[in-house]
Amino acid sequence: MKDIIECRERLRGIFNITVTPFTPAGGIDFPALRENIERVIGLGYDGLLIGGTYGEFPVMSLAERRELFANVMECVQDRVAVMLCSAASDPREARELTEMAGELGGLPMVTAPFVSEITDEQIFSYFQEVAPLSRTGILVYNAPGIGITLSPALLERLADIPGVVGIKQGDLNPTAIDQIANRLRGKLRLFCASDLAFLGPMMAGFDGISTTNSGALPELVLATFRALEKGDAATARDLHQLWFDYRTLARQHGQPQLVKAAMALRGFNGGTVRAPLKPISESALAALTSVMHKLASDSRTGVMLSR
């Protein structure tokens, strides 16, 4: 993507949140990462999100994140749109990564600074400073998981900053979704940050979703999204219901831990997680294996297991 105009045009649809496969020795397994990227591109995903929260960016060094960005963009070769998470606890790193992401042709995804008791005015000022750094614009990530939830009123203000091309909404409170969809739809791109409950935001008028669990269930999540995109809400509902038991486990044991374990059951190389995260327990793995076998037994899911 060469500029903000092209970026905005391509920022829609279903984006795979690509897990970062770490080797047992702790390094990034770039061949495995490329395999996982090629899989979802081959299936017809509209884009990728690299190095996000579930890509475990907080446990990567700045040098690793630079290398990750460069390797991914070299692999993708502009075949699909790519969000590159440039969030950081250190604003200096966030600025550097935001500029780099834009230069590489990706869309930087930026969160509010991870600072306790930060005010709305300080958050607004931060995004004003960061947005001009990227030639492709920035995506504002409203990420309650970092301890800061951006209100619909603040998001409306952020939408007026030149260079803000979209919002990835992690606060799925129905009231917030309703306000954002009706006040900002058409003004900039709206993405639902969770594949665990994306039917509502999409029906409200959002432009797309980012999905972590498509690393393990790429065919099923894609089919669900495409049905909804075509206006077939009943099929989307039925397909989404098929993996409710999986979602229950994801909520219990965490992502990306469960995704990587499920990928292994399918013969996909998601690698391991980095500390402080730990692989799921043996009992959790047994429950996941049972759920995955159930999904594999249903022809509608597209799921095939390697073991």
Predicted confidence (pLDDT) per residue in 136-182, tens digit: 999 999 999 888 999 999 999 999 999 999 999 999 999 999 999 99
CATH of the domain at 100: 3.20.20.70
Asked whether residue 107 is assigned to any structural domain, the reply reads yes
Query: Is 141 designated active site?
Result: yes
Tally of domains within the chain: 1
Q: Which of 54, 126, 168, 246 is catalytic?
A: 168
Q: How far is Cα 97 from Cα 130, in angstroms, rounded to an integer?
A: 10
pTM over 0.85: yes
Asked whether residue 80 is assigned to any structural domain, the reply reads yes
Asked whether residue 91 is assigned to any structural domain, the reply reads yes
Asked whether residue 222 is assigned to any structural domain, the reply reads yes
* Strand ranges in the chain using DSSP code E only, listed in sequence order: 13-18, 47-50, 81-85, 107-110, 138-142, 164-169, 189-192, 208-211
Asked whether residue 15 is assigned to any structural domain, the reply reads yes
Tens digit of pLDDT for each residue in 75-128?
999 999 999 999 998 999 999 999 999 999 999 999 999 888 899 999 999 999
Q: Which of 54, 141, 246, 260 is catalytic?
A: 141
Asked whether residue 138 is assigned to any structural domain, the reply reads yes
Asked whether residue 136 is assigned to any structural domain, the reply reads yes
Query: Is 260 designated active site?
Result: no
Q: How confident is the model at residue 67 (pLDDT cuts 50, 70, 90)?
A: very high
Average of per-residue pLDDT values in the chain = 96
Asked whether residue 296 is assigned to any structural domain, the reply reads no
181: number of CA atoms within 13 Å, CB side? 19
Residue 84's domain comprises 4-243
